[in-house]
Structure 1
Amino acid sequence: MTRTTTEDMINRTVIANRLDSITKEMGLALEHSAHSPIFAEACDFACCICDRDGQLVSQLSGIPILATAGSFSVKSVLRKYPNSITNGDVFIINDPYDGGNHLPDIGIITPVFFEDNLMFFCVSRAHHGDIGGSTAGSYNPKATEIFQEGIRIPPTKLMRNNEFMGEILDLILINTRNPNMLKSDLLAQIGANKVAAKRILEMVEAYTPAVVNKAIAKTLEQTEMLTKKRIREIPDGIYRATEYIDDDGFQEEPVKIEIAVKVEGERLLVDFAGTDPQVKGFINTSVVTATTASGIAVLWFLGDDIPRNDGAFRCIDVHLPKGSLVNPYEPAPMTLCTLTPASEMIGAIFQALNQAVPGRVPAGYTRYAGPSYYGRDPRNSRYYVGFSFCSTGSGGAMQGRDGKSYMSPMSNFGGVKTPDIESNEIQYPHITLYHEMETDTAGAGEYRGGAGMKYAFELYDEGSHIVNFGDGMKFAPYGLNGGNQGSLNKGFFVHQGEPVVMASKEAPRCVAKGDQVILSSCGGGGWGKPLDRPVEKVYADVLDEIISLKTAKEIYGVVITETGIDYDQTNQFRNSKNGNKRV
């Protein structure tokens, strides 16, 4: 190996890791400078860096469904402003029909110049509490077109020469219910990008633009080669799977997501032919979200050592039939797309690829279902919009590991954090009644899913509203390789002492002081046959109240008495169901 080759390899490794550390620093800056709890506590955001052509080169901070989409947003900016991007510009975007996920996710894009040459784009994408529309919080289960969901922002220049274009900012802010909060959070995003730009320029200064560009090109090339190698290791074939969404909030029939994963040589195609046509409700999915979800699922299967950059995505093709749920005609609504449809796309791809090489992917994760709530806080008369992040369910099991309790849906991969109960009560006018794991909700298996959660809170402001949105009240998280499904979501609204069952997609309900919301969230799916779970683990689950004595015996075949495990009866019970296998 020559000295030059060794030097290039070292530069490539150091620069790639440097960019990853910069995206992490972006995330920390955003988390610590943001005003809203959605940013500062739930961390519902993502940061990434793209090269001058919009290729994704680093994305290690935040949730993948947002980070991976950054490249789409940059390319939309490049299409609209091909010859008019200058140093000191900042762009804003959220339109799901032009480079965005869904309207609440606003992208801030900052070009980075070195000596008058465009080299990078820093991108922060974050979910904002309200971006207008007919329902506060912008999740409107009864929207029938995107115009009812909030303000659409095509790729737009928000700053020039590092100064706000005031008319643009004012136009956006006046269309939202909490403009001060939105402005503060946009400033946090802009600030995070500034931090990244400063670090990038320090790096370029130290290495020169030529060295940095060469290192990035080689990094993407190496990632592409590794991804192709992993795809070649999968047996050629077509692997099919289907997932269902409960409904769209209007029709009662389930909505089908049908996929075929075609592996041929060193390329992989995710084909959504067979997926249902677009629907009336807000579960339609943007091209950005559907493409991103497909890439996330495939890369999870291929291995976590593959860098999540554009080199990996070059090997993955996605077919999204026009007019279908995953590529609708305008102006179909689509605010729920980053939660429910994205998660079920990932789940369907997992189930298909599990047929090719079993054991690499988890069973089904929780499906989100919980309300947003909004009104005037009686303590300070300020308008608020809150989200029940505490209603998160749990993850699915996989070979060798039980599912983790208290995880966000698959599209977020646990990236969204749950706020601290006490700080959440300070932010919003409600009191938490209880928040705990629920017995017998974990999907049974040799490796069981995480337990679902019981969560309830009481509102004490008069005249507020809640909007329940989500899924998973008809279809539970799937099990794999003989594992059982997880549990379903359930929700009750107790209005003036009378409980009412909540649907997963509801119009706003008026709230009286003292009304309560009671939620049971999905437990994750199990992996492997429950009768193969070691009896000692079953006993531990009983002691931890994750499962009951009845479930231990009837599902796992383990007999537990007051003195512990009865091995003789357990052997007899399991043998009657499972051949002659001894425990």
Structure 2
Amino acid sequence: MSDQPNAAAEPALESASDTRRVDPFLMAVLKSRFEAIVREMSLVVLKASRSAVIKNGRDFSCAILTYDCRLVSTEDALPIHVTSMDLAIRPILEFFDDIAPGDIYLNNCPYTGGTHHADMIMAMPVFVDGKPLFWAVALSHHADMGAPIPTTYLPFAKNIYEEGLHFPCVRVVERGKERSDVIRIALMKIRASKVWHGDFQAQIGACRTATQRLVELIGRYGVPTVEDFVEDWFDYGERRAIAEIRKLPAGTYRYETRHDPVPGVADAGIPVRIAVTVDPEAGRITVDITDNVDNVPGGLNTSENTASGSCRMGVLNNLDSSIPHNHGSMSRIDVVMGEGKVVGKPRYPVGTSVATTNVNDRLITAGNCAFTAMGAPHGQAEGGGHMPVGNGVISGHDPFKEGQYYISQIFIGYAGNGARHGHDGWLTFCGPANGGLISLDSIEVDESMYPIIVESREIQADTQGFGTYEGAPAVGGVFYPIDHAMTVVYASDGTSFPPAGVLGGTAAASAINRKQKSSGEIVELPAFSAEVVEAGEKLVFRACGGGGYGPPAKRDRARVAASVAKGWLSAEKAKEVYGYEA
């Protein structure tokens, strides 16, 4: 930006260069070309994968990084997958000194920079004329990794030995040839292994596609031009971030939220604390999460990757959305964390299987909400989390396909987002870690792939937090297995501590998880459980709504009328909360 201070007076801004290496028009072209390559990678994963969690729910992300592990480009990716993707790739360079064209590496281990063990991260180096320039990366959330119980979310798993397979930066393709010995390990251990292998090969296809396209792109424009573009792109992201940070009031802003109690793991719940320090003069924000409790004996601990990424997400969610989310913009966010903390870097070998959701969702929420201490229009209210029964991992033996075992996470109904100044909450939010980019499952596709019936899915009126701007209401529903016993594993945060409102807004309704027995009796289910649902039984759930923003008394009458008209707000509640009568 033209008003940038000089380097002598502002040494913290020296890296935000105003130097232009590439013509602005060419820069726009190359930006779009990189995005198109990532978009093609995503289409390969989407079309070639086999499990519903990837094909239907879109729980995957693709990206391009420089060879020295700086994020260049991503497209429709889940924020939790890509915001700290550099941490998952850097160890490959440390472990291998013979990286070659055609290699592909797999990392799903939180102790070597991964998110959690269900996220299998494939990385392929891109060489041009013998020089490595980029990494093509495809990450997919796999439905099973061979844990003792059929799920990848294990809140009660004390350590990694109870979680299933970890691949701490393993070469799975060597000079173009798949390593059958490594793949054989997974095929022996993982349930529904043929489905897993199809998802695995889809990622390989995405990486190879991106490599081919990048080589073609560089062949057209040349290595120097493409490298100059990358540096200009980073500089642009950094300048944009600095300009936005300078608009914020200086100070340190704190927020605390709390994850629900988990019996035997965290009986009183888990406090999640964050301190966000804004230095407008330096154009820098520091996020400090050191003031948190020690690791818990379960899978709720964050990984270094998810904790780092979530702190960045809380900041980026409060800056202009047009800022490129690349290495340049994220370089203006410093993260300070402790080791051996439930929020921060875990101490080996504690469990981290739920590191992308739950406590991690609360961390992102805390970052979103910390900015409300600046007052309106900053920040947003708390939103709901990922894992009610309607988002559980289902598994069983398909009665219509002899000998076939199925397992997959479903997204039948998920949580709503909290409100922010000027905007009511986002209905199809799902959870903070993906920011609305998980797709709500197609009921017809789920029913065609798995032996289940989804009896109902609907918005639950009056479950949102009320305020000047309302949170999104919750989604609830009923589903059940056909002629067999089905296991569903879930970790439903928000039953004890539902999403809170901010600046005078009210809290949303809590999550509900129930079972209807064959007799018709309704029983309450634990918030964290692996439940067997027999033939004739049904699962009944309600996710969380989102918290409200600002005093309800200041809500515009037209907004109240619109909520009533959509069926999200009953006439009775409109009168009670807002004094509104049609």
TM-score (norm 2): 0.92
Q: Deviations over 1:94-139 (max 9, x none)?
A: 0011110001000011111111110110001110010111111222
Specify which of 381, 394, 411 is matched with residue 373 of structure 1: 394
Tell whether the 8 Å contact from 1:54 to 1:71 is kept in structure 2 after alignment: yes
Tell whether the 8 Å contact from 2:416 to 2:426 is kept in structure 1 after alignment: yes
Matching of residues 155-554 of structure 1 within 5 Å? 155-250=169-264, 251-264=266-279, 265-326=282-343, 327-356=345-374, 358-368=376-386, 369-370=388-389, 371-381=392-402, 382-497=404-519, 498-506=521-529, 508-554=530-576
Tell whether the 8 Å contact from 1:391 to 1:521 is kept in structure 2 after alignment: yes
Q: Deviations over 1:464-491 (max 9, x none)?
A: 3222213110111122222211111011
Tell whether the 8 Å contact from 1:36 to 1:185 is kept in structure 2 after alignment: yes
Tell whether the 8 Å contact from 2:101 to 2:127 is kept in structure 1 after alignment: yes
> Which amino acid in 2 is paired with 1:303?
D
Tell whether the 8 Å contact from 1:460 to 1:515 is kept in structure 2 after alignment: no
Q: Deviations over 1:126-166 (max 9, x none)?
A: 10010111111222232111221110110011111211111
Tell whether the 8 Å contact from 2:52 to 2:409 is kept in structure 1 after alignment: no
Distance 1:5 1:231 in 2: 22
Distance 1:27 1:484 in 2: 39
Q: Which has the higher mean CA deviation after the structures are superposed, 540-549 or 263-272?
A: 540-549
SS state at 1:228 partner: helix
1:336 CA drift (Å): 1.6
Corresponding residue for residue 29 of structure 1: 44
Tell whether the 8 Å contact from 2:369 to 2:382 is kept in structure 1 after alignment: no
Corresponding residue for residue 78 of structure 1: 93
1:61 CA drift (Å): 2.9
Aligned length: 556
Distance 2:142 2:490 in 1: 18
Q: Deviations over 1:438-482 (max 9, x none)?
A: 111011112211111121111124333222213110111122222
Distance 2:413 2:554 in 1: 31
Tell whether the 8 Å contact from 2:20 to 2:232 is kept in structure 1 after alignment: no
Residues 448/164 of structure 1: CA separation in 2 closer, same or farther (3 Å cut)? same
Matching of residues 28-177 of structure 1 within 5 Å? 28-81=43-96, 83-177=97-191
> Which amino acid in 2 is paired with 1:192?
A
1:5 CA drift (Å): 5.6
Distance 1:538 1:267 in 2: 39
Distance 1:248 1:336 in 2: 13
> Which amino acid in 1 is paired with 2:148?
S
1:40 CA drift (Å): 0.9
Distance 1:455 1:164 in 2: 43
Q: Deviations over 1:278-316 (max 9, x none)?
A: 111211000000001111111121211211111112111
Distance 2:159 2:22 in 1: 55
Q: Deviations over 1:155-182 (max 9, x none)?
A: 0111112111110111122121121111
> Which amino acid in 2 is paired with 1:449?
G
Distance 2:152 2:509 in 1: 28
Corresponding residue for residue 571 of structure 1: none
Corresponding residue for residue 581 of structure 1: none
Q: Which has the higher mean CA deviation after the structures are superposed, 320-329 or 96-105?
A: 320-329
Tell whether the 8 Å contact from 2:370 to 2:379 is kept in structure 1 after alignment: no
Distance 1:249 1:384 in 2: 29
SS state at 1:225 partner: helix
Q: Which has the higher mean CA deviation after the structures are superposed, 460-469 or 130-139?
A: 460-469
Q: Deviations over 1:316-370 (max 9, x none)?
A: 1111111111222111112222111222111111221222363243322222222
Distance 2:28 2:299 in 1: 43
1:540 CA drift (Å): 3.3
Distance 2:20 2:352 in 1: 49
Corresponding residue for residue 13 of structure 2: none
Residues 5/523 of structure 1: CA separation in 2 closer, same or farther (3 Å cut)? closer
Corresponding residue for residue 579 of structure 1: none
Tell whether the 8 Å contact from 2:456 to 2:478 is kept in structure 1 after alignment: yes
Distance 2:527 2:426 in 1: 24
SS state at 1:97 partner: helix
1:7 CA drift (Å): 5.0
Corresponding residue for residue 15 of structure 2: none
Tell whether the 8 Å contact from 1:376 to 1:461 is kept in structure 2 after alignment: no
Residues 148/7 of structure 1: CA separation in 2 closer, same or farther (3 Å cut)? closer
Distance 1:429 1:388 in 2: 13
Corresponding residue for residue 577 of structure 1: none
Distance 1:501 1:5 in 2: 62
Aligned-residue CA RMSD (Å): 1.8
SS state at 2:418 partner: coil
Distance 2:410 2:527 in 1: 14
Distance 2:20 2:301 in 1: 49
Q: Which has the higher mean CA deviation after the structures are superposed, 348-357 or 210-219?
A: 348-357
Q: Percent identity?
A: 28
Unaligned 5+ runs, structure 1: 566-583
Distance 2:263 2:152 in 1: 16
SS state at 1:366 partner: coil
Residues 430/393 of structure 1: CA separation in 2 closer, same or farther (3 Å cut)? same
Distance 1:223 1:538 in 2: 39
Distance 1:400 1:198 in 2: 44
> Which amino acid in 2 is paired with 1:452?
A
Tell whether the 8 Å contact from 2:126 to 2:132 is kept in structure 1 after alignment: yes
Distance 1:484 1:414 in 2: 22
Distance 1:210 1:548 in 2: 62
Q: Deviations over 1:255-285 (max 9, x none)?
A: 0111111123322111112212111121100
Tell whether the 8 Å contact from 1:458 to 1:517 is kept in structure 2 after alignment: yes
> Which amino acid in 1 is paired with 2:223?
P
Tell whether the 8 Å contact from 2:234 to 2:329 is kept in structure 1 after alignment: yes
Tell whether the 8 Å contact from 1:386 to 1:428 is kept in structure 2 after alignment: no
TM-score (norm 1): 0.92
> Which amino acid in 1 is paired with 2:303?
S
Tell whether the 8 Å contact from 1:468 to 1:503 is kept in structure 2 after alignment: no
Residues 144/5 of structure 1: CA separation in 2 closer, same or farther (3 Å cut)? closer
Distance 2:284 2:273 in 1: 20
Distance 2:269 2:155 in 1: 16
Tell whether the 8 Å contact from 2:22 to 2:232 is kept in structure 1 after alignment: no
